[in-house]
Amino acid sequence: MTKINQNFLKLPGSYLFSEVARRISAYCAGHPDAKIIKLSIGDVTRPLAPAVTAAMHKAVDEMGTFEGFHGYGPEQGYEFLREAVAQHDYQSRGMDVKPEEIFISDGAKSDCGNIGDIFGADNIVAVCDPVYPVYVDTNAMAGRAGEYQEALGRWNRLVYMPCVKENGFTPEPPKEAVDLIYLCFPNNPTGAVATREQLKTWVDYANRTGAVILYDSAYEAFITGADIPHSIFEIEGARTCAIEFRSYSKTAGFTGNRCAYTVVPLELERDGAKLNSLWNRRQCTKFNGVPYVVQRGAAAIYTPEGKEQTRQSIEYYRENAKIIREGLSAAGLSCFGGTDAPYIWLETPGKMGSWEFFDLLLDKANVATTPGAGFGPSGEGYIRLTAFGDAQATKTAVERIQKIL
Ligand code: PLP
């Protein structure tokens, strides 16, 4: 009789976004004229840059010719894109990252989850709380998270690092020994960033203990602060303890196009094995590579026009973030994030519960948000607002919230 992976049965339902959608539909059913503005969406809304679509059109035409046809591509990505990434995202910023350390993929979500394939099931995993749920669920599927404790909303074998107001939503290394550490800066959902000193503490910790840092910088393009690191590899010592995930999803509107990359330094070794070789082996076996046309589109982001057009889109979202942050702060609410990230982490007034405040904003302001409690126990008492919407709708949403407070 076939046995299933029992770990899947331990997963709680993906409650957060389905419950948000359910409450919005229920409200709309009772209020058919309500014009709900969604500050809950985590997807981008601006179209692809013209430089990207032009490069993709050209690549499609190439594919229709004998000379320009591309069949199975290299699983690690085409050299033209790996070289562009190494040069523009790293070497031009003073980091010694080589093309062979870059693995092009179809998403940071896939890579953050799949990276677990190269690590043993008995590693102890540390995650931030609140957290991007993919880190938790993929480790639960692999049997590294133990048992889910319904009443506490947490897994008994994961180490949760509370990210709260008191530590500026940036945790310090835990007291207990951990082997794999997921860090995400700029953070989803809190919008917090880590300073150079904070990241240095983590890198020193990992090098001292032999842990590996899995650094998700999917939102690095939103960083405005001159001193805030965009990459873990800006930190001395990171090449012997860290893997970095990046994505074109939010940087260049690629959520529907699918392209991202992961950097595994050649120096990074554990248990006598080079993690770059293990990841290469994993990708060559299980991953088919990103379509040629999409990779040509991604490479166009690094052209002068592509850079400028992408910058304008990011600027548009940044302006939304500013409107939300300033508008709600002026209304007396405590807002965090939103300066170096597309997320604003809003403390609920009067210690109201996350879901209670969500319902209040939906009902009284017709604004949809995401309750912080859905991202982990330390998210209780917060809601997440996103800057990915239309500028006018974002302004209207802020005015509506101001009015009801
Ligand atoms: N990492 C974080 C922290 C995210 O919030 C998201 C998407 O919301 C992703 C990764 C997913 O990136 P991708 O679209 O490249 O899979």
pLDDT of res. 42: 84
pLDDT of res. 164: 97
- Supply angle C-alpha 280, 249, 316, rounded to 5: 150
pLDDT of res. 16: 86
Residue closest to 246 by CA, chosen among 93, 376, 385: 93
**Quick one: pLDDT band at residue 384, thresholds 50, 70, 90?**
very high
Mean pLDDT to the nearest integer, 262-287: 98
Which long-range contacts link 352-358 to residues 24+ away (Cβ below 8 Å)?
Answer: 352/381, 353/380, 353/381, 354/379, 354/380, 354/381, 354/382, 354/383, 357/383, 358/20, 358/23, 358/383
Percent of the chain with pLDDT over 70: 100
Percent of the chain with pLDDT over 90: 97
**Phi/psi of residue 46, nearest 5 degrees:** -80, 145
Q: Which atom of ligand 1 is nearest to the CA of 42?
A: 8
Question: Among positive and negative, which fits the CA dihedral 202, 205, 210, 211?
Answer: negative
**Quick one: pLDDT band at residue 282, thresholds 50, 70, 90?**
very high
3-state secondary structure 340-400: CCCEEEEECHHHCCHHHHHHHHHHHHCEECEEHHHHCHHHCCEEEEECCCCHHHHHHHHHH
pLDDT of res. 316: 98
Cα 261 to averaged position of ligand 1 atoms, centre (Å): 11
Q: How far apart are CA 389 and CA 324, in angstroms?
A: 11
pLDDT of res. 255: 97
| Substitution candidate for ligand 1 out of 41, 105, 109 with most atoms within 8 A of CB | 109
Mean pLDDT to the nearest integer, 159-179: 96
Peptide bond before residue 74 is cis, with ω within 30 degrees of 0:
no
314-341 in b/e form (b: 16+ CB < 10 A) is beebbebbebbbebbeebebebbbbbbb
**Quick one: pLDDT band at residue 405, thresholds 50, 70, 90?**
confident
Q: How far apart are CA 293 and CA 304, in angstroms?
A: 19
Q: Which atom of ligand 1 is nearest to the CA of 111?
A: 16
Mean pLDDT to the nearest integer, 108-121: 97
Task: Mention every residue, 6+ apart, whose C-beta is less than 8 A from residue 266.
Answer: 98, 100, 101, 274, 276
Q: Is the pLDDT of residue 15 over 80?
A: no
| Substitution candidate for ligand 1 out of 188, 215, 261, 287 with most atoms within 8 A of CB | 188
Q: Which atom of ligand 1 is nearest to the CA of 260?
A: 15
Cα 216 to averaged position of ligand 1 atoms, centre (Å): 8
DSSP state of 12: P
Q: How many CB atoms lie within 10 A of CB 142?
A: 18
Q: Is the pLDDT of residue 372 over 90?
A: yes
Q: How far apart are CA 30 and CA 363, in angstroms?
A: 11
Cα 357 to averaged position of ligand 1 atoms, centre (Å): 26
For 27-54, what is each residue's pLDDT tens digit? 999 999 999 999 998 899 999 999 999 9
Residue closest to 346 by CA, chosen among 38, 39, 15: 39
Give 84-102 as a DSSP string: HHIIIIIGGGT----GGGE
Q: Would you tell me the crossing angle of helices 391-404 and 304-330 to the nearest 10 degrees?
A: 10
Give CA separation, 194 vs 199, 220, 255, in Å.
6, 11, 25
The torsion region of residue 169 among left (phi > 0), alpha (psi -120 to 50) and beta comes to left
For 291-332, what is each residue's pLDDT tens digit? 999 999 999 999 999 999 999 999 999 999 999 999 999 999
Share the mean pLDDT of the chain: 97
Q: How far apart are CA 145 and CA 178, in angstroms?
A: 12
Q: Is the pLDDT of residue 148 over 90?
A: yes
Least confident range of 17-26, 107-116, 221-230, 247-256: 17-26
In the structure, which protein residues have their CB atom closer than 6 angstroms to any atom of ligand 1? Answer: 42, 107-109, 132, 184, 188, 216, 218, 247, 249, 255, 260
**Quick one: pLDDT band at residue 18, thresholds 50, 70, 90?**
confident
Q: How far apart are CA 352 and CA 361, in angstroms?
A: 12
- Element at 127 (helix H, strand E): strand 125-129
> Do residues 400 and 373 touch, judged by C-beta distance below 8 A?
no
For 326-369, what is each residue's pLDDT tens digit? 999 999 999 999 999 999 999 999 999 999 999 999 999 999 99
DSSP state of 179: S
Q: Is the pLDDT of residue 14 over 90?
A: no
pLDDT of res. 13: 82
Residues linked to residue 181 through DSSP beta bridges, in sequence order = 126, 213
pLDDT of res. 144: 98
More confident residue, 104 or 12: 104
Q: How far apart are CA 58 and CA 52, in angstroms?
A: 10
Q: Is the pLDDT of residue 392 over 80?
A: yes
pLDDT of res. 394: 97
Rounded to two decimals, the pTM is: 0.97
Q: How far apart are CA 244 and CA 379, in angstroms?
A: 25
**Quick one: pLDDT band at residue 225, thresholds 50, 70, 90?**
very high
